[in-house]
Structure 1
Amino acid sequence: MLEVTRKLVELLDLAPIGDDHFQGESEDLGFPAVFGGQVLGQALMAASRTVEDRAAHSLHAYFLRPGDHRLPIDYEVHRVRDGGSFSVRRVIARQEGKEILTGSMSFQVEESGFEHQDVMPSAPDFNTLKSEHTLALMMKQYIPEHMREKFTRDRPIEIRPVDPMNPLKPEQRDPHKQAWFRAQGDLPDDPVLHRCLLAYSSDFGFLGTSLNPHGVTFMNREMQVASLDHAIWFHRDFRMDDWLLYDTDSPSASAGRGFNRGNIFNREGVLVASTAQEALIRRREPSSS
C-alpha cells in the first residue's frame, strides 16, 4: 500500500470516544471546507462499527455546514433499528458542537434473489488515459500559486477522466462525464473499508457534471458550489484497489441547484453501486463596487 493510501485508510479508522461515539481527523485537500467525501466515508465507518455480520447497502446524507479541515469531527451513531434482515443507523457529524452532516445508513444480511442490471456504457480503456495528477502536473504553471501544492501532490485515489476539461478554460459540454478510478496500492480484504473508500471517492467531481452545459467549473470565482446531499446504493461487492468506471449524468439544473446521478461498474461490466446528489451551483451576483 502506498504511503498516501495508508494515510487515507488511517483517516477512515475512527477512534472510539464513548458508547457509539467516534472521532476522526480531517485532511486539507485545498478546498475551502472539508471534502464532503471524507465526511461520508467517516460517517459510514462510524455506523459500520455498530453493526455485525451485515453489509451497508445504502447511505443517504445531508451536508448541513461546511466543515473546518483544521478540526477533528465527532460522529454520534443512533441505533434506529435491528430487524431480522436489516439494520438502520442514523449518524450525526459535529465540529465544535455544530452539526455539519446528518445521514442514515442501512445494512442487510447476505441474501440471494432476482438479478438484473444496466449494461455498462462504452468507455476508453483506462490504460489509454492520463490521471488527474498527471494532468495537474502538466498545467502546474497555470494553477494559482496558493493552490498549486495541494492540486499537484500525490493522491491516494487515482482518477483517470475520459475527455478531461481544462478547469482554467472551461467549455460548454453535454451533462455527462466518465472517469476510471481506484485506490493506489493493495488494500486489505475488508468489505467495510472498500465501501467507505467508495463513499469517499464518489464525491470527487460529481457536482461538476451539472456544470458542464454552462461552461463553468468550481474554479470560476463567480461560482458558489457545494454538495447539498449525497446518496449511495451498494449493489454488489467490489474492490477499491481495482479499476472502477464512474459514469455520471445531470438530467436537470434549476433554482441554483444541479442534480447529478451516477453508476459505478467494475472492469468486467458489473454494476457495483449507484449514486445521486443535488448540489448548489449558484452564480454570485457581481458586487456593486
Structure 2
Amino acid sequence: MNDRPLQSLLDLLDLERIEEDIFRGASRPAVIPRVFGGQVAAQALVAAGRTVPEDRTAHSLHAYFLRPGDPGAPIVYTVDRIRDGRSFTTRRVVAVQHGQPVFHLSASFQTFEEGLEHQAPMPDAPDPETLPTAEEMLPRHAHLFRDPGVVDRILEARAAVDLRYVEPPPYVTAGKGPREPRSQVWFRTAGKLADDPLLHVCLATYVSDMTLLDSVLLAHGRGGWAIGDVVGASLDHAMWFHRPFRADEWLLYDQESPSASGGRGLGQARIYTADGQLAISVIQEGVIRVPRT
C-alpha cells in the first residue's frame, strides 16, 4: 500500500506553533476551488488539542464555516483558553486567512471517568471488504460528471482514506427518482496511525465532512455539485465522541437527512466501530441550492 497520501495528510495536520496559542497550517488544492471543510475542522481541532493536558480527550466540537478558504494560502489558528476545570477543558479556535475569519470552532475535552452506559444498536451493513473501492467505482462513472477529470481530482483528494459506499452514491442514481434519505459508507485511513487519541479524533473529523449531506441529495434524486444539479457548501458541523476508536480501523458512517428547506439541508449520522460500538454522533447543515436555468 502506498502510504505517501496518508503521510501527506498527517503533515497537513502537523501545525506549526508560531506563538503560545497561535498555530499555522498549510492548505492544499481541493476538488473544488476552496479549502475542504474537513481539513480546516481537523486542523482547528489539532490546534485546540495542543493546548490541552494529555490526559483529556475531545468529547465534542461545534463549528461554523464562515467564508470559503483559499487553498493557496496558509491558515492561522488562534486558540482561546476558555476554561480549565477539574474534569473539563474548553477551547475556542478562530481560523483566519487574509485578515478575515473563515472558520470558528468550540471544542470540549474531558478526563476519563466511569458513568452510565447505553447506546443505539449498530444497523445492518455488509462487510466493507466486499464493497468496491473508490479506485474501482469512480472511473466506471466518469461519464456522469460535467468534467470527467474531476474523477482523478477526487481520487487524489481522498487517497489517504479508504472510503466505500454500501449503496450507489447520489451521482450514480441522479435523475432516477427519490431514494430513502439514508446513506452508509465504511471508512478507514489508508495505513496505520500512531496511538495518539487526538490524531484519531482529528482524522475522523476530517472524513466526517466528505459524505454527510449525501442523504439530502438522495431524498430528491439529485447527484451533487460534480454533476451540476446542485450547488452546496457546509454551514455548521457538530460532533460528539462517545467511546474510543481507531481511525485506521473500519468505521461505519450511517447517515440520514430528516429535513431540507430554505436552501439548506440537514444531515445527521452515527459512526460505529466494526464490533458495534457507537463511537461518534455527527450533525451538519449545509447550503444546498438548485441552480437557476
Is the shorter-chain TM-score for this pair beyond 0.5, marking a shared fold? Answer: yes
Aligned to 2:265: 258
Contact 2:169 2:214 in 1 (8 A): no
Deviation at 1:145, TM superposition (A): 4.2
Deviation at 1:222, TM superposition (A): 4.6
Aligned to 1:241: 248
CA distance in 1, matches of 2:250, 2:151: 27
Equivalences for residues 163-202 of structure 1 within 5 A? 163-165=167-169, 167=171, 170=174, 171=176, 172-202=178-208
Aligned to 1:99: 101
Aligned to 1:108: 110
Question: CA-to-partner distance for each residue in 1:113-136, whole Å, 9 max, x for gaps?
Answer: 110000000011111101223211
Cα distance change, pair 141–213 in 1 and its aligned pair in 2 (3 A): closer
Aligned to 1:85: 87
CA distance in 1, matches of 2:21, 2:108: 16
Deviation at 1:169, TM superposition (A): 5.1
Question: CA-to-partner distance for each residue in 1:246-266, whole Å, 9 max, x for gaps?
Answer: 001101111111111000000
Equivalences for residues 136-215 of structure 1 within 5 A? 136-140=138-142, 143=145, 144-153=147-156, 155-165=159-169, 167=171, 170=174, 171=176, 172-215=178-221
Cα distance change, pair 243–104 in 1 and its aligned pair in 2 (3 A): same
Unaligned runs of 5+ in 2: none
Deviation at 1:142, TM superposition (A): 5.3
CA distance in 2, matches of 1:194, 1:218: 29
Aligned to 1:9: 10
Question: CA-to-partner distance for each residue in 1:86-105, whole Å, 9 max, x for gaps?
Answer: 01000000111111101100
1:48 aligned partner, one-letter code = G
Local SS of the residue matching 2:117: coil
RMSD, aligned CA: 1.5
Aligned to 1:43: 44
Local SS of the residue matching 1:44: helix
Deviation at 1:283, TM superposition (A): 1.4
CA distance in 2, matches of 1:173, 1:128: 23
Instruction: Please point out which of 47, 58, 69 is paired with 1:56.
Output: 58
2:164 aligned partner, one-letter code = R
Contact 1:208 1:218 in 2 (8 A): no
2:280 pairs with 1:273: yes
My pick for the range that moved more, 128-137 or 35-44, is 128-137
Contact 2:120 2:278 in 1 (8 A): yes
Local SS of the residue matching 1:226: strand
CA distance in 2, matches of 1:265, 1:169: 26
Question: CA-to-partner distance for each residue in 1:129-168, whole Å, 9 max, x for gaps?
Answer: 0122321133346542442431233610110101123616
Aligned to 1:31: 32
Contact 1:20 1:78 in 2 (8 A): yes
CA distance in 2, matches of 1:166, 1:179: 12
Local SS of the residue matching 1:272: strand
Local SS of the residue matching 2:245: coil
2:201 aligned partner, one-letter code = R
1:268 aligned partner, one-letter code = D
2:290 pairs with 1:283: yes
Deviation at 1:179, TM superposition (A): 0.5
Cα distance change, pair 253–13 in 1 and its aligned pair in 2 (3 A): same
CA distance in 2, matches of 1:142, 1:15: 40
Deviation at 1:235, TM superposition (A): 0.3
TM-score w.r.t. structure 1 length?
0.95
1:37 aligned partner, one-letter code = G
* Identity between Structure 1 and Structure 2 (%): 46
Local SS of the residue matching 2:27: coil
1:83 aligned partner, one-letter code = G
Cα distance change, pair 141–284 in 1 and its aligned pair in 2 (3 A): closer
Local SS of the residue matching 1:215: coil
TM-score w.r.t. structure 2 length?
0.94
